[in-house]
Amino acid sequence: MLKKKNFLRILVFIIILSIVIPQISEYAVSKVKIKKTVVPETVKEWTFMLYLAADTRDHLVTSSLNNTYNSIGEAIEGCFEQVSNYDVVEGFEANLNIIALVDHPYDATHHYGYAEIIQVQFGWENNIILDDLGQTNMGSRYTLRDFIDYCKTNFPANNYALMLSDHGRGYAGLIYDYHAPHPSYEYALGDCLTLAELKGALSDTNGGIDVLFLNTCLGGSFELMWQLYGYANYVIAGETIQVGTVLFHPRDILYALSRDPFMTPLELAQLSFDAGQNPDLCPSYPYNDERWQCIGIYDLTKFPDVGEQAYSLVGVFEGFTTLLLNEFTFNGTEAQLMFRTIRDELDYIPSLFSSNSMMVDLMHFTEKVIEHITEFQGNQDLISGYANTLIELITPTADQILVDHWTRGTTNYENINGFSICFPNTREKYDQYLYANFYEDLDISVDSNWNDFIFATYPDPLEPMWEIHLPEFWEINLLPIDPTVDLHVFFDTDPYEEPLHVGPTGLINDYCMDVELGIEGAEYIDDFLTGAKTIILPATSIMQLSRDITPEDFQVVVNATSAASASKDVILNVRHIKDNEILWEDTQESSIEVGQDLTTDISTDDEWTDLEEVSKPNGFIGPEKHFFEPVIVFSFSIIVLVIFSRKSKIQK
């Protein structure tokens, strides 16, 4: 009897550990140590590494664990299958290694995705699964580092290429793992490789990468190139948002490389550049141009002061940004107004730079500085000289950093020249984007004055937004929260008509969520990651809509109908601003659950009601933390053990 009781205790304990330990480990930093080793192969011409983050999301994926049918993941996995089935030539393995780390999305047995390392062979059925890594954070520096180490150790070559395929946000990182925990914000969806992590992964491996392919949006980032010089020789990337068919870029590249594995790194870079303009193996879709929107070859060996270069790009940019910052010493207010005016003139269609990316084209900005040079208070000739030299150094030329650059050539692309750079139109947006205060730690911020220039242009995080455009307005701020919680404003002008509305409609297009701006001049700002949102209401529009001179009310609604997590804190801030001064400001805090709406009425005489619940929750839904369910199981198991022990004592 005693042995039977001990056996049951041990069995229950093992069940507890089997459930709890794997779940808790999901919150540990991903430090993938690849378990399976192979006999190192002989040195070949190329080892081509595919880092394929199919466990990602698109605009149809909301808060569900199930991201199986995200279009980006489907394209990544579909392309990978076609490479071995249709593209590579038989016998390519003699001179070329193709090794892929594929992170698959949700399925019925892997709710948080799972990753495999696969050696590509001729024919899909011949591919070799080298290791099954299980749930893996592709947004971790250590995952990428260990993968590169594994490939270099077991598949040595004269040249190494690395291709990263998934979402990209330029200076704000790339490779977004949907099921990985975000390191900074509790409610953010997924983790990504920051530029510092990407540099760290490459610097930790011996010798860096000969050719780096970025099959992502917004890869042609000046900050990214600055961060990676010394660790990658050539980079193939596009400056703007890209169409989804760029994810099929590996097909044309590996088709050609498998037939001619003796290409030099520059020849391979040139081949992929040509394929971006005129792909042969990219699938065609009705009414969709499968070419890249723009693509460039970046030679990072030309970035620093090396060889016989007359000027170093790093040195010129450092001097240029120092002079821009010095302008504030003459007249800070005039300098702010001038640079903000320049920023307002840097406008692009949403399909090139989304409004929340805070990016501008570097050459376009520099040209605008030259256009405004007579407005500068000092050093006009010196600033103009540095600006012209900078333009010369980033103009596509075979012996400069931007070896070649191509765009589709319509008028929408006339100010797209190869390099984006972060230049927000508000400091507040800059501070909260993606990772808290991460931009200051980038190499470009350490080595130059660009970051200080941004802060000088927008010096106060609490400074009223849009002050140049609006003399008086109300600003409603929803502070960081679950990104799926929405913010709305309703203004009722006629009891027989629908109220005017500012906020998301719930409809989504290829580039962003559809927003209704029913009040003239209103603005809706969403950072799409931390959940922070802002609505701007011009006073002139509100007053024009009023039927008399009495104070008017507008309704603010915080909506959690489709929130990803159950209970969360709401912090709502309201400010009334006139002539750059805050006339009234107040903040309310509350909590909200899935299915609830919280509402408050704000009066134009600067009073507001308490946040109140409009609809009850649809029932209790516990926090969707990965460890919540195991904790319940663990607690239940402890209770079972206690009961079992007590019964055992009674029987004795």
Condensed to tens digits (0 to 9), the pLDDT of residues 169-219 reads 889 889 988 888 766 655 455 788 999 999 999 998 888 899 999 999 999
Strands 157-165 vs 209-215: parallel, antiparallel or unpaired: parallel
pLDDT value of residue 616: 43
User: Do 224 and 340 sit in the same domain of this protein?
Assistant: no
Percent of the chain predicted with pLDDT > 90: 52
Q: Is the pLDDT confidence value at 328 over 70? A: yes
Q: Cβ distance 548 to 483 under 8 Å?
A: no
Last residue of a domain, one of 280, 302, 324: 302
Rounded Cα–Cα distance for residues 190 and 185 (Å) = 10
Task: Tell whether 36 is covered by a domain.
Answer: no
Task: Tell whether 414 is covered by a domain.
Answer: no
Nearest to 169 by CA among 223, 208, 210: 223
Question: How many alpha carbons lie under 13 Å from residue 312 in its C-beta half-sphere?
Answer: 11
pLDDT value of residue 5: 52
User: Do 225 and 99 sit in the same domain of this protein?
Assistant: yes
Rounded Cα–Cα distance for residues 256 and 252 (Å) = 6
* Contacts of residue 573, Cβ cutoff 8 Å, sequence gap at least 6: 476, 477, 479, 585, 586, 587
Last residue of a domain, one of 302, 321, 347: 302
> Interhelix angle for 380-394 vs 362-371, to 10°?
150
Task: Tell whether 525 is covered by a domain.
Answer: yes
Q: Cβ distance 633 to 16 under 8 Å?
A: yes
User: Do 107 and 184 sit in the same domain of this protein?
Assistant: yes
Task: Tell whether 31 is covered by a domain.
Answer: no
pLDDT value of residue 28: 42
Q: Is the pLDDT confidence value at 149 over 70? A: yes
* Contacts of residue 447, Cβ cutoff 8 Å, sequence gap at least 6: 226, 314, 318
pLDDT value of residue 650: 45
User: Do 577 and 603 sit in the same domain of this protein?
Assistant: yes
* Contacts of residue 402, Cβ cutoff 8 Å, sequence gap at least 6: 296, 297, 298, 299, 394, 395, 396, 418, 419
pLDDT value of residue 18: 46
pLDDT value of residue 431: 58
pLDDT band for position 57 (cuts 50, 70, 90):
confident
User: Do 232 and 321 sit in the same domain of this protein?
Assistant: no
Q: In this predicted structure, which of 159-163, 289-293, 362-366, 372-376 has the lowest mean pLDDT?
A: 289-293
Average pLDDT score over residue span 576-595? 88
Residue numbers of the domain that contains 593: 472-618
Task: Tell whether 369 is covered by a domain.
Answer: yes
Task: Tell whether 34 is covered by a domain.
Answer: no
Which is more confidently placed, 459 or 586?
A: 586
pLDDT tens digit sequence for 212-227: 999 999 999 999 999 9
Q: Is the pLDDT confidence value at 133 over 80? A: yes
User: Do 11 and 144 sit in the same domain of this protein?
Assistant: no
The domain tally of the chain equals 4
User: Do 298 and 324 sit in the same domain of this protein?
Assistant: no
Q: What is the pTM of this model?
A: 0.71
pLDDT band for position 467 (cuts 50, 70, 90):
very low
Which is more confidently placed, 11 or 379?
A: 379
Last residue of a domain, one of 433, 457, 481: 457
User: Do 364 and 293 sit in the same domain of this protein?
Assistant: no
Task: Tell whether 99 is covered by a domain.
Answer: yes
pLDDT band for position 458 (cuts 50, 70, 90):
confident
Q: Is the pLDDT confidence value at 16 over 80? A: no
Task: Tell whether 409 is covered by a domain.
Answer: no
User: Do 279 and 172 sit in the same domain of this protein?
Assistant: yes
User: Do 97 and 61 sit in the same domain of this protein?
Assistant: yes
Q: Is the pLDDT confidence value at 465 over 50? A: no
User: Do 130 and 255 sit in the same domain of this protein?
Assistant: yes
Place of tokens 């979402």: 167
User: Do 610 and 478 sit in the same domain of this protein?
Assistant: yes
CB atoms within 10 A of CB 284: 9
Average pLDDT of the chain is 82
Look up the CATH number of the domain holding residue 279.
Answer: 3.40.50.11970
